[in-house]
Chain A
Amino acid sequence: MTREKAQAAYPAFEQVGLRAPDDVMRLARMGAFFPTRLSFMRVLMRRLAAQRAAVERSVWDIDANGFGRAVYSVTLDGHTYSLVAFSNELKPEERTDRVIAEAWDAAFVLFDGVPGEADLDRLQNNAPRQEAGRFSERELVLSRANKSVRLFDHVVERLAAGRQPDEGQVVPIGYLMRTTAVYGNGKFGIADRARIAGRGAMRGPFAAEMLAVWLIRGFTFDLVEHVARRRAPETAVHLDDRLRRHLGIGNSTGLGMAPFLVNHPVLLNNWIMARETALARVRALPGADEGVADRLVELTRRVSAHLDEWWVDDARQMARIETLRREWEQIASLFDIDWWRGKRPFDRAVEHSLHASLECQELVVALVLEPHGHLIDGLADCMDCTREARLEPAMTLEQLRALIGEHCGWALDVDFDKRAESRRFWYVSEEKLEPRLGDRYEEQGAELEMPLDIARRIQALDQSLNGEENGTVAEFLMRHSEHRYIVRRIQSLGRHPYAEIRDNLIGEDCLPIDMLRCKLSFFGASRFDPRSDRWTRITLFGGAPTFDDVEKGADCDDWWLPAFGAS
Chain B
Amino acid sequence: MKCSRNEIAALAYKAALGAGVDPGSAQDAAAATVRLCVENRDGLTILLKRLEEPEGLRQRVAAADLKTKREEADDEFEKALVACRTDEPGAGGAIEVHEESFASASRLAHRIYVPATEASRLSGAGAGTTDND
Q: Tell me the nearest residue of chain A to B64, going by C-beta.
A: A393
Q: How far is the CB of B17 from the nearest CB of chain A, in Å?
A: 9
| Complex alpha-carbon distance, A95 and B131, angstroms | 9
Known contacts A186-B6, A477-B62; decide if A99 and B124 are in contact (CB<8 Å).
yes
* B62/A535 in contact, CB under 8 A: no
Interface size on B, residues (CB 8 A): 49
Bound-state CA distance A427–B124 (Å) is 12
Q: Which residues from B are CB-within-8-Å of A387? A: 88
- Do B117 and A98 touch across chains, with their CB atoms under 8 A apart? no
Determine whether the beta carbon of B23 is less than 8 Å from that of A436.
Answer: no
B125 CB to closest chain A CB, in angstroms?
A: 3
* B112-A443 in contact (CB<8A): no
A338, CB-defined interface residue at 8 Å? no
B57 CB, nearest partner CB in chain A, Å: 10
A98–B62 alpha-carbon span in the complex (Å): 44
- Do A185 and B133 form a contact, CB below 8 Å, given A484-B22, A485-B24? no
Judging by beta carbons under 8 Å apart, are B62 and A431 in contact? no
Contact residues in A for B103 (Cβ distance below 8 Å)? none
Given A393-B66, A474-B62, CB of A185 within 8 Å of CB of B6: yes
Q: CB-CB < 8 A to B27: which residues of A?
A: 484-485, 488
Known interface pairs A192-B4, A194-B91. Does A443 touch B119 (Cβ–Cβ under 8 Å)? yes
Among A22-30, A44-52, A59-67, A252-260, the stretch in contact with B: A252-260
> A234 CA to B84 CA in the complex, in Å?
65
Partner of B25, one of A187, A428, A484: A484
Partner of B62, one of A432, A434, A437, A478: A478
Q: Complex: how many Å from CA A163 to CA B7? A: 49
A438 at the B interface (CB under 8 A): yes
Q: Which of B4, B85, B114 contacts A448 (CB 8 A)?
A: B114
B residues bordering A, Cβ < 8 Å? 1-7, 14, 22-25, 27-28, 58-59, 61-63, 65-66, 84-85, 88, 91, 93-94, 110-117, 119-121, 123-133
Going nearest first, the 3 A-B pairs with the smallest beta carbon separation are A484-B24, A186-B6, A186-B4
Binding site for B on A (CB under 8 A): 95-99, 134, 136-137, 146, 148-151, 173, 178, 185-195, 252, 254-256, 387, 390-391, 393, 427-434, 436-439, 442-445, 448, 451, 473-474, 477-478, 481-488, 531-532, 534-535, 537
